[in-house]
Amino acid sequence: MDSSQKLTAYAYVWANINDPNLYGDWHFEEEKGESLRVTHLPTRFVIRSVEPGMKYCSPFPAPPSIVLAISDLFSLVLFHVFHSIRFVSFLFGLIFSSSFFTFSISYKEWRLAHMKDFINMTTGLWKNWSYRNQNQESKLTKLSSSRVVTLPPFLDVIILRLLCF
């Protein structure tokens, strides 16, 4: 990230709700890309904010690793067969909307914030900011498409609105 740019993220993401360094200084690193990817998820706490002012803390458990492996394999197959991230994300919405995955096409300028190892399946263009506050390492993913958030509903998955400027 250019030193002249400033990123402010009202996400309130943490591993420990009593962490005294929650509002400390963060150091960001940026990377860009285009991908369909899945990462792992341990039990953590985050705040969900669907609209400004609607926030609450919610714990959720990790899914079985076999579920992550199957979903990762399936996503790669879809991507290589159809060569279209938009079409793949559309298929994910149709196939998994009532069982494992939810598909959102309504959040236009929404971002997804997650701790390291949170499950995070995204399609489309993305930017990652890795940031560290002492021993706490996290990542902010800025999504540039409205068809990118695909996450398991039974985890009480969190979609946070971040204000980035």
Tokens of 102: 């939810």
Reduce the secondary structure of the chain to three states and give it as a string: CCCCCCCCCCCCEECCCCCCCCCCCCEEEEEEEEEEECCCCCCEEEEEECCCCCEEEEEECCCCHHHHHHHHHHHHHHHHHHCCHHHHHHHHHHHHCCCCCEEECCCCCCEEEEECCCCCCEEEEEEEEEEEECCEEEEEEEECCCCCEEECHHHCCCCECCCCC
**pLDDT, greater one: 148 or 29:** 29
Residues 89-93 have a mean pLDDT of 46
With pLDDT > 70 as the criterion, what percentage of the chain qualifies? 0
Model confidence at 82, pLDDT cuts 50, 70, 90, reads low
Q: In this model, does residue 136 exceed pLDDT 50? A: yes
Going from N- to C-terminal start, the domains of the chain cover: 26-155
pLDDT at residue 95 in the model? 42
Q: In this model, does residue 124 exceed pLDDT 50? A: no
Tokens of 1: 């990230």
- Per-chain mean pLDDT for the chain: 39
- For 52-81, the pLDDT digits (tens) are 433 333 333 334 444 444 554 555 555 555
**pLDDT, greater one: 79 or 146:** 79
Model confidence at 135, pLDDT cuts 50, 70, 90, reads low
